[in-house]
Amino acid sequence: MARDRSSTRRRAGVLAAALTALTLTGALTAAHAPLTAKPELRRAAQPKGHDVSSHQRRVDWHAARAKGARFAYVKATESTTYRNPYFAGQYDGARRAGLIRGAYHFALPNRSSGAAQAAYFVRHGGDWQADGVTLPPALDIEYNPYDRHHKCYGLSRTRMVRWIRSFSDEVRRETGRRPVIYTTTNWWTACTGNSRAFAADHALWIASHGSSGPGRLPGGWRYWTFWQHGTKGRLPGDQDLFGGSATRLRSFARGR
């Protein structure tokens, strides 16, 4: 997802090569497994959604719902120094329009600990409650958009896995949910050694742009929960699908 400190630079440009393998899946439960119909039927049946940041500013959420949106993720924070100035309006606006919505955090693992960034995120929009309309917090961890020569933020694979675990543990301690993990297969392989440490209890969000399917999944994940399949489309921001039915989406929001 896009970092949004400047409206003139987009993650899509920085990560064009990586996006062909961007992969996210759900935890290994039947409730989060993708449908088994033919691809064209599966995509038609799955709830559509989108993710936004300050790039989209003031979103017309009612228009988005009229175009088919049923869920949304909204960028809340980055590191421990940045808050999306449009977050409150975007997050509350999505809910008022009838969308199930959640918040995401853009990780900068070279800036501070996972626990510190998680705590900052939860304080500024990343909380969760089992109300059926709030998606679990999401961690956006991908290639470093500020330094292409240090794609893994200067951390070893072991330290990166520890950083992600620290973030996850703090989110769970404060909210009761493990975060959804947004990443690319290429990044996950390069920067965590394709760690399988998170597949059993973290939902994964897959983005494979311009393809007919999400492609190979990283680190032991067998199913995807969300698929980001494009950066442009009918909805504001990036285009997403949920890997199940509308009923499963509501159950996932409730933590079931």
User: Of the listed 51, 174, 238, 240, which one is catalytic?
Assistant: 51
The distance of Cα 67 from the centroid of its chain, to the nearest Å, equals 21
Task: Report the alpha-carbon angle 150-156-162, nearest 5.
Answer: 120
Contact criterion met (CB below 8 Å) for 219 and 37? no
Annotated catalytic residue 40: no
The distance of Cα 252 from the centroid of its chain, to the nearest Å, equals 14
Annotated catalytic residue 140: yes
User: Of the listed 60, 78, 127, 142, which one is catalytic?
Assistant: 142
Question: CA-to-CA distance for 158 and 135, rounded, in angstroms?
Answer: 29
List, in sequence order, every residue forming a beta bridge with 44; answer none if it has no partner. none
Question: CA-to-CA distance for 80 and 62, rounded, in angstroms?
Answer: 32
Annotated catalytic residue 131: no
């973290």: which residue's tokens? 202
User: Of the listed 140, 170, 174, 240, which one is catalytic?
Assistant: 140
Q: How many CA atoms lie within 13 A of 255 on its CB side?
A: 13
Q: How many CA atoms lie within 13 A of 23 on its CB side?
A: 20
Q: Which residues are catalytic?
A: 51, 140, 142
